[in-house]
Amino acid sequence: MSEYPETPTWQPPFVMDAVTFGFDRKETAVQTPVLKNVSLTIESGEVLGILGPNGSGKSTLLKVLMRILIPQQGRIELFGQSHVAFPQAEISRRVAFVPQETQQAFPFTISEMVLMGRYPHHNRTWGLGWEGSRDRAVAMQAMRDMDVAHLGVRLITNLSGGERQRAVIARALAQEPEILLLDEPTAFLDLHHQLEIARIIRRLNRERGLTVVLVSHDLNLASQYCDRLLLLREGEIVVMGSPEEVIAGESLERVYGCPVLVDRHPQSGRPRVTLPV
């Protein structure tokens, strides 16, 4: 058992209370918000999928949780404590974010990239922030978990999309987070890699109790792999609940503005979406 006391289970990882965010300058931002009065609780150990049409505020919601963007109104609590009071590094030690795209113009090796995940754990009061043996061990395990350990000396600029995505998730794992936020983790990947990433995320959630919040355009993948789904439209929560409640309900047609056919996945029995002819 660890020497640390356990995080009280009655403190959910995230609570959002009437959060409103807009990209414009302060006065007008609230009038044209990207997120409108969003309130939700993210439970410990769940996989929450965020769905919605383009421009519905899915990615913005993740960035607000990561405090990349700071909402104009409302309150966010991270493990019961106000989000705004933390130094950025303190958040990064508990929450990791995998962006939709990673571009890198400079020839870093995969190992260097993954070790960047150790940045929030460094003491940088002086010196150049050299990684210690624990940093290297954690990064190596993260690389093995994501099956990129053998790519350690390769350059990030020379990887395929799937390899790069796995390396970025490894970097997120190197942060030793309790919550993993993923922005379209399977976009741009072929079927094989989609399945691989989805299974890895599922496994991390089951084996390590990692709380996962993922944004996806892929309704079926989300239905398969998420415990709960949240449907956004124009920055507002339309419905939040189990895949049955969200996918099978009529809200999906309303939000996407087109008719859909919903049946059951032959193996899992989860709801499955197809478009009518």
Nearer to another protein, 130 or 276 (CB): 130
Site for another protein in 30-89 (CB under 8 A): 63, 66-68, 75, 77, 79-89
CA distance 155 to 158: 5
Interface with another protein, residue 109, by CB under 8 A: yes
Site for another protein in 2-41 (CB under 8 A): 2-8, 10-11
Nearer to another protein, 111 or 224 (CB): 111
Question: What's the CA angle centered on 38, arms 218 and 217, to 5 degrees?
Answer: 10
- Binding range to another protein, per CB under 8 A, among 21-29, 130-138, 193-201, 266-274: 130-138
How buried is residue 165: exposed, middle or buried, by Cβ count under 10 Å (0-12/13-18/19+)?
Answer: buried
Interface with another protein, residue 115, by CB under 8 A: yes
- Binding range to another protein, per CB under 8 A, among 31-39, 95-103, 226-234, 261-269: 95-103
Nearer to another protein, 89 or 261 (CB): 89
Site for another protein in 210-239 (CB under 8 A): 210
- Cβ of residue 176: shortest distance to another protein, in angstroms? 4
Judged by CB under 8 A, how many residues of this single chain contact another protein?
78
- Cβ of residue 46: shortest distance to another protein, in angstroms? 15
**Residue span 182-211 as binding mask against another protein, x where in contact by CB under 8 A, dash where not:** --------------------------xxx-
**Residue span 144-163 as binding mask against another protein, x where in contact by CB under 8 A, dash where not:** --------xx----------
Interface with another protein, residue 276, by CB under 8 A: no
